[in-house]
Amino acid sequence: MTCAICKGRKGKRFCPALGSEICTQCCGSEREESIDCPLDCPYLVESRQHERLAGISPENFPYKEIKISDTYLREREELLNAAARSVLTGAFNTRGATDHDAREALDALARTYKSLESGVYYETIPPSPVAQALVRQMQELLKQFREEETKQAGMVRTRDADVLGIPVREVARAAADRCGFQLWSEAFLEGGRPDLAGAVATLIAAGARRILVIPYFLTLRLHLQRDLPRLVAEVSRGHEGVNIICGDPLDGHPALVDILAERAKEARRKL
């Protein structure tokens, strides 16, 4: 009997997932990739005993532009655990789900969350029906986590940016690199972590004695005129001997016109 997958080599192993014989090569290469292997498959169990996961070079990581700091990992541990549980639970609850489907689902979710943060919502739907079902499962589980977290905290703690860690962190990192700052931290006025006080404390602990607060992605009147000056003053009073000043907002900067014009040109080329 020929292999049910490659149709060329001789089938030497009975595959309980496919209900037919497959060759050893296809069993090894397609296991949990295109084959929904049952956990008690003897070949799967045996492979786990000798499995050596190949190392992945950081150069091959997807979405390298998304930078996750140690502070983010510590302060958003519950969110990260919830995200991991959503993948695991979604895969177990979705019939036929394989590692490939999980990767497709995660890629689609990442693209969707990136569009949410850009201000233009676009839901990316993976091509595989199984991956689509996985996305729905993961979205529902993350929604339940955020609702429960909001109920317990009495406020929205996890925003779309927190799920993906963009774009606030990426802008802060890029600006620090361009200015040559060795110490830097992103900060959120509401919902996200760290807040301004936490970011300042982290910088001071690292040796900073002069701190610049540069506002961006803020609502002009509410945050810039009311909240930010008050918070900077409160944080300054708590750290005598540290000079903390607030720079001007992006609003009104002449470069914004160039940026908007460039975005308009890019959009026009797509029409």
Residues 172-223 pLDDT 10s: 777 777 888 888 888 877 655 678 888 899 899 989 999 999 887 665 556 6
* Confidence label for 56 from pLDDT (cuts 50, 70 and 90): low
Do residues 87 and 107 make contact, with C-beta atoms less than 8 angstroms apart?
no
The answer to whether 34 and 51 are in contact (CB under 8 A) is no
Residue 154 has pLDDT above 90, yes or no: no
Q: What is the pLDDT of residue 266?
A: 76
Residue 81 is predicted with a pLDDT of 84
Give the pairing of strands 243-246 and 210-213: parallel
> Residues 77, 144, 146, 85: what is their CA dihedral angle, to the nearest 10 degrees?
20
Strand partners, 15: 20
Residue 15 has pLDDT above 90, yes or no: yes
The pLDDT, as a whole number, for residue 54 is: 61
Q: Which residues contact 136 (CB under 8 A, 6 or more apart)?
A: none
- Each residue of 211-245: pLDDT tens digit? 999 887 665 556 677 788 888 999 999 998 999 98
Is residue 167 a contact partner of residue 186, using CB atoms and an 8 Å limit?
Answer: no
Place of tokens 């774009």: 167
Distances (CA, A) of 207 to 210, 211, 219: 9, 11, 31
Cβ(210)–Cβ(175) under 8 Å? Answer: no
Domain-wise residue ranges, the chain: 1-55, 66-163, 182-246
Evaluate the omega torsion of the peptide bond into residue 194 and state whether it is cis, within 30 degrees of 0.
yes
Which pTM does this prediction carry?
A: 0.47
Among 61, 52, 105, which residue's Cα sits nearest to residue 83?
A: 105
CA distance 217 to 195: 14
**What's the pLDDT tens digit per position in 79-125?**
888 888 888 888 888 888 888 888 888 888 888 877 665 555 677 88
